[in-house]
Structure 1
Amino acid sequence: MSSLSRWLRGPWGVPTVAGALIVAAAVASLSVGVNPFGAGHGEAHAVPTALVVSDVLMVVAALVAGARIVRTAVRALLVKVVAIDLLVSIAAIGALVIGEYWEAAAVTFLFAFGHALEVRTMDRTRSALAELVAVAPDVAVVLRDGTQVEVPAGAVRPGEIVVVKNGAKVPVDGEVTDGTGALDEASITGESIPVEKVAGDRVFAGTVSHGGLLQVRATGVGADTTLARIIHRVEEAQDAKARTQTFMERFSAWYTPGIIVAALVAGLTTGDVVLALTLLVIGCPGALVISIPVAVVAGIGRGARDGTLIKGGDHLETSARISAVALDKTGTLTEGRPVLMDVTVLDDALTRADVLRWAARAEAGSEHPLARPVLDAARAEGLDVPGLPEHTEPVPGKGVVATVEGRRVAVGNLALLAAEAMTHDVAAPEAERLAGLGRTPMVVALDGEVVGVLGVADRVRDDAAEMVARLHANGVRRVVMLTGDARPVAEAVGAAVGVDEVHAALLPEDKLEVVERLRAEGHVVAMVGDGVNDAPALAVADVGVAMGLGGTGVAVETADIALVQDDLLRLPDAIRLARRTVAVMRQNIAVALVTVAVLLAGVFAGGVTMAVGMLVHEASVLLVIANAMRLLRARPAAARVVAAPERELVGA
């Protein structure tokens, strides 16, 4: 099929051909000095050949432009749906019957032209999805038996080593095992600056190398990649309908037959067939029907470009009404990577390095999450931590007791001292002081004597305080923090980021209860989390928000919004986008209703013809489309509400 043939079969083929026929008809009429946009000439006497040609061309234009409209109307009737196309079909056929050839051609041409614009607009608003599909890699270079082999990206097996060279797309999700390089991750995270990657870093399919050579162990391939999940999410979201859109479709199902009945009554009452046909054209709710879906698709597309995945129009509308936000602490407000902050020596015979070394030797055999920051700190300070202890005895909920070099070392909380029959008079005040600073205290005892206290802390995210301030600036009335941590630690985080309420020492079901209580108080609640323990609260909230696709699969799938990049400021931006989108919906509905009301008044007052009515109607369609397209424009980042705070460390 030639490119011309393909173009003619596309959305612009019919209006282009019909428009050319109308122009030819106008030229034929003007050649004999007759207004081509008046009534048909079939009833005139001694009609010049040029006018006959003009009428024929107008009729052909109406048939070309109206064929698809009539087919669509008939198909809809077969499934018992009275569509807008039926109004236009009846009006055009009626105009042809009574000799109003120009009116018939104009109405069908304008409707076909409007349809082509709608198709083009919807394609453009879905461009975010098209861009995502375009960045999906086609091939991969895999190391097999020590040889580089080029294979389709979908043929890479989990665990294989993939080579990513300068300028190539990363074909899989994975972890860098060797090499260094810079990757453009804009297609995944929205971040425009290339990110440096070294061994141990995660990479995503669809990102592009801007230098270096990386070897990547594949952890996600084919449909299991982050890019594939994003594409799937956006596809589902753009097809999902908002509540307002569903209401408008139900409204149109009653409104359209009502217009047909009203036009029939007007025609029978006045005996004016042209009036009845004009009412059919004027009453088309096209702008009303297109006003919501084009705004929803544009809003979701803009969000996808910015790294915010919204499941559908319903969730987009709900997000615009958020009045309370519940935030998980660990991994959301904090980085979720505890580090050692304090080493307090309580035995004059030992140094700081001695206390840290004994603690690290004991923790070397522990599986507790707080063992890692102790070991990392010891290695960073050049302390020798060889192998495992001779014996390790985990004490659930309290700590660990180990035999190291023949000596008994205990590391844990104050309850561990009681279990070991040791006094904690010396350790308790220091532990309380560290807890008050937001640290998690870890007491170190050597051969039954307390020798020191360690303070482990999690780092508050740089943008956490600004995120809370922006939420308040965007109309969120209450921002609460939910955490399973002890209250002193939770209070320290809450004070650092500026939340309105702190709920500490919570189990997953307790988080759910807090969210339900907020909803019972009349709030529209968004819950933000990244772990399995957040899933119940995410599910019960009006809007569940998953922090980053690096979060657990349960959290991402349960949530209504997923922030692709692990960036807290995406949350207030998502709420702002939702409110902009809903504002555009309301503006479009107002434009559509006002247009119909003004045209109907103009018909009964006189002066509004069928062609003029369709022209104004299509202009209103263009207006609501143009209004929705504003959502696709990237807005500059909101001004910083607060200065970035110093990076603080709070209890893990």
Structure 2
Amino acid sequence: MVMQKYILRKKNQIVLVNGFLLLVALVGHFILQNSYIVISSLVIASVIGVLPIAIQAYQALKVHVVSIDLLVTIAVFGAFLIHNYEESAIVTFLFLFGAYLEQRTLNQTRSAIKELIAMAPENALLQLNDGSFKEVDVEEVEEGDILLVKTGAKVPVDGTVLSGDGYINEASITGESVPLTKVKGSEVFAGSILENGTLKIRADKVGEDTTFGKIIELVEEAQDSKSEAERFIDGFSKYYTPIVLALAILVWVITRNLELSITILVLGCPGALVIGVPVSNVSGIGNGAKNGILLKGSEVVNSFSDVDTIVFDKTGTLTMGSPKVAEQSIYGTESKDAFRYLANIEKESDHPLAKAILESIGEVPTSLVTNTEVIKGGGIIATIEGHRVIVGNVTLIKNEGILLNPQIVTDIATFEKNGDSLVLTAIDDELKLLLGIRDQIRTGVKEDLKKLKAMGVKNLIVLSGDNQGTVNLVATQLGLTEAHGNMLPEDKSAYIDQLQKQGQIVAFVGDGVNDSPSLALADVGIAMGNGTDVAIETSDIVLMNSNFSLLPHALGLSKATARNMKENIVIAIGVVIILLLSLIFSQWMNMTIGMLVHELSILVVILNGMRLLKYSLKDDLIKN
């Protein structure tokens, strides 16, 4: 038992040794022309390689499972009995190497929970009976406690703001990049970050009951429910291997011809089947890696190839994830001065939209800003070069008695309909500028979505924590099937679960911590490469560098790889059936011819699989 565990732990090292010995055999045959070196290397490689495979086959048999490992073990022993050491060595190497590549990628999802827990808030400032505050562990906080949150701190609980104001980044909860203004009565979530200001909050939900706690719980539940599907070959071997074994025994009982029985076992063990699927898988994964796509194993490839519904997070996925000035209207003739005044005021502002405004305007001459008055929840009033300048939202402009003519009212309504956050600038009680700021749709996304539809995806759905109007606008622009806004992480995962219960095979594309439950629950989770480590590790597919255009290539590649695997399976099984039928019902079939056909079938499936290395989405779309 100890030795078995030791050998299984050393599988990766065995793969390296196997590969080295195969190389030595090639050198011995083609360069040194020394048969002793060739045979010795192949025999040692076969013996070392078959050990972990035979142990796994034995362990499977103990629980009454006839696995693919048993097929390989039989093939190796059969090859030994007929002194075909080359096939036994190659089969063990390719089988172990393919298993290594798959397991290496699949294991990357296991640390997601640790990453989530590490991001959870640990401390809180608790108000004591005398009004002072004491830092305590977040586990000590109870519902109803009063807490203080300072600039830069994580909100420790779900709660309600009792006093103070500030901007909170809720990207870890809603996925939205624009910080939100929080004032008395506002709701705050554990795990969000107070970027500016000071808040006194009442704890409404603590510990596992918080939204962030539920995110962790959802990921745990989703990953537990996501057991690996039994591979086709393992299921096939449950029936195929006993039939071949029974046939060989029957032949031996009837004919007493041991060599014939062994020949049946050798011909009946599909070496091409063992090699064909790993070659397709490795080639598909290799193509993906070359093109910036990480596919985490053959099971992911098969699942993604069958997807009929793709659900998208909005921010950072369909959109860039950072607000920009999308449109503007200018009133009057002093626009140059208006932009200069606006930029100088925004330089002194900590408002989350200030960066977008400054990026849009660019460098301007510096002007002295005096008499600055910050209007909470409204904007800023200041004096520049003797002019009274007001920068803020529509409410502030109206409260200051500034006239909005019909054209301005129409423009405001249009911008709001487009999902913009509005920033208005008035000089000396006259409106001069109207800016509409919103997150920008990624370049080329609409064309990429059309490609997904062309490849058979029936439903394209966006789920977002943003308001419904903004989400509807994105869906309309991109031609999506459905759009749902104001959704928290649990809402997204519940919606995905609902789709799955309806029989749809769902892929989810996202990039944030808030996306991790949905990434784990979906049949296929797809993470944008610049997203959080949690999203990437929880996912099944990663689009490196957050290149959305890689998504159609990933789907096309998955379909091509799954198709290639099926082709190799058909080739391998077909060859075995022909060999066995020829051995039984013809006079010309013998072990030599059978082994030659075996080798040719192995070459065919390898070459077929290697076609995936040159796979191109463009060629695939032309065929369709």
Asked whether the two chains share a fold, i.e. TM above 0.5, the reply is yes
* Corresponding residue to 1:330 among 286, 293, 315: 315
C-alpha contact 1:338 1:370 (8 A) present in aligned 2: yes
Deviates more, 1:418-427 or 1:533-542: 418-427
SS at match of 2:261: helix
Task: Please tell me the residue identity of whatever aligns with 2:22.
Answer: P
Matches within 5 A, 1:465-614: 465-547=446-528, 549-607=529-587, 608-614=589-595
1:557 and 1:415, CA in 2 relative to 1: closer, same or farther beyond 3 A? Answer: farther
Q: Per-residue deviation at 1:247?
A: 4.2
- Distance (Å, rounded) in 2 between the aligned partners of 1:22 and 1:373: 71
1:632 and 1:379, CA in 2 relative to 1: closer, same or farther beyond 3 A? Answer: closer
Partner in structure 1 of residue 294 of structure 2: 309
Residues 564-619 of structure 1: CA distance to partner in whole angstroms, max 9, x if unpaired?
A: 13322110110000000100111111111111111111121133222222222232
1:619 and 1:407, CA in 2 relative to 1: closer, same or farther beyond 3 A? Answer: same
SS at match of 2:442: coil
Task: Please tell me the residue identity of whatever aligns with 2:379.
Answer: V
C-alpha contact 2:460 2:481 (8 A) present in aligned 1: yes
Partner in structure 2 of residue 87 of structure 1: 74
Residues 318-349 of structure 1: CA distance to partner in whole angstroms, max 9, x if unpaired?
A: 11112122223333333334333544456x6x
C-alpha contact 2:25 2:38 (8 A) present in aligned 1: no
1:8 and 1:372, CA in 2 relative to 1: closer, same or farther beyond 3 A? Answer: closer
Partner in structure 2 of residue 174 of structure 1: none
Say whether 1:623 aligns with 2:608.
Answer: no
Q: Per-residue deviation at 1:441?
A: 2.4
- Distance (Å, rounded) in 2 between the aligned partners of 1:117 and 1:513: 41
Partner in structure 1 of residue 348 of structure 2: 365
Residues 492-521 of structure 1: CA distance to partner in whole angstroms, max 9, x if unpaired?
A: 333332222232344444433443333333
1:413 and 1:527, CA in 2 relative to 1: closer, same or farther beyond 3 A? Answer: farther
Q: Per-residue deviation at 1:626?
A: 1.5
SS at match of 1:523: coil
Gap regions ≥5 residues in structure 1:
1-5, 25-56, 96-103, 129-240, 642-652
- Distance (Å, rounded) in 2 between the aligned partners of 1:71 and 1:639: 42
Say whether 1:395 aligns with 2:371.
Answer: no
1:340 and 1:322, CA in 2 relative to 1: closer, same or farther beyond 3 A? Answer: same
Partner in structure 2 of residue 223 of structure 1: none
Task: Please tell me the residue identity of whatever aligns with 1:567.
Answer: N
Partner in structure 2 of residue 289 of structure 1: 274
Partner in structure 1 of residue 9 of structure 2: none
1:395 and 1:529, CA in 2 relative to 1: closer, same or farther beyond 3 A? Answer: farther
Partner in structure 1 of residue 359 of structure 2: 376
C-alpha contact 1:242 1:314 (8 A) present in aligned 2: no
- Distance (Å, rounded) in 2 between the aligned partners of 1:341 and 1:71: 64
SS at match of 2:339: helix
Q: Per-residue deviation at 1:267?
A: 0.6
Matches within 5 A, 1:403-418: 403-404=382-383, 410-416=390-396
Q: Per-residue deviation at 1:445?
A: 5.2
Say whether 1:318 aligns with 2:303.
Answer: yes
Q: Which has the higher contact order (CA 8 A, sep 6+)?
A: 2
Partner in structure 2 of residue 237 of structure 1: none
- Distance (Å, rounded) in 1 between the aligned partners of 2:32 and 2:230: 37
Deviates more, 1:271-280 or 1:585-594: 271-280
- Distance (Å, rounded) in 2 between the aligned partners of 1:477 and 1:637: 20
1:531 and 1:447, CA in 2 relative to 1: closer, same or farther beyond 3 A? Answer: farther
Q: Per-residue deviation at 1:473?
A: 0.8
Task: State the Cα RMSD in Å.
Answer: 4.4
C-alpha contact 1:414 1:424 (8 A) present in aligned 2: no
Matches within 5 A, 1:254-265: 255-256=240-241, 259-265=244-250
- Distance (Å, rounded) in 1 between the aligned partners of 2:88 and 2:294: 34
Task: Please tell me the residue identity of whatever aligns with 2:253.
Answer: L
Q: Per-residue deviation at 1:72?
A: 5.3
1:370 and 1:283, CA in 2 relative to 1: closer, same or farther beyond 3 A? Answer: same
SS at match of 2:269: coil
Matches within 5 A, 1:35-114: 68-69=45-46, 80=58, 83-84=70-71, 86-88=73-75, 91=78, 104-105=82-83, 107-112=84-89
Residues 102-126 of structure 1: CA distance to partner in whole angstroms, max 9, x if unpaired?
A: xx34x44444466678789999999
C-alpha contact 1:125 1:301 (8 A) present in aligned 2: no
1:448 and 1:519, CA in 2 relative to 1: closer, same or farther beyond 3 A? Answer: farther
C-alpha contact 1:311 1:560 (8 A) present in aligned 2: yes
TM-score, normalization by structure 1: 0.61
Give aligned pairs, total: 472
* Corresponding residue to 2:339 among 356, 360, 367: 356
- Distance (Å, rounded) in 1 between the aligned partners of 2:55 and 2:558: 38
Residues 28-52 of structure 1: CA distance to partner in whole angstroms, max 9, x if unpaired?
A: xxxxxxxxxxxxxxxxxxxxxxxxx
C-alpha contact 1:480 1:499 (8 A) present in aligned 2: yes
- Distance (Å, rounded) in 2 between the aligned partners of 1:421 and 1:20: 93
SS at match of 2:320: coil
SS at match of 1:562: strand
- Distance (Å, rounded) in 1 between the aligned partners of 2:48 and 2:435: 78
SS at match of 1:480: strand
- Distance (Å, rounded) in 1 between the aligned partners of 2:100 and 2:297: 17
Q: Per-residue deviation at 1:296?
A: 1.5
Say whether 1:279 aligns with 2:260.
Answer: no
SS at match of 2:317: helix
SS at match of 1:335: strand
C-alpha contact 1:245 1:292 (8 A) present in aligned 2: no
Matches within 5 A, 1:455-474: 455-474=436-455
SS at match of 2:321: coil
C-alpha contact 2:78 2:265 (8 A) present in aligned 1: yes
- Distance (Å, rounded) in 2 between the aligned partners of 1:639 and 1:629: 16
Task: Please tell me the residue identity of whatever aligns with 1:360.
Answer: A
Percent identity between the two aligned chains = 31
SS at match of 1:568: coil
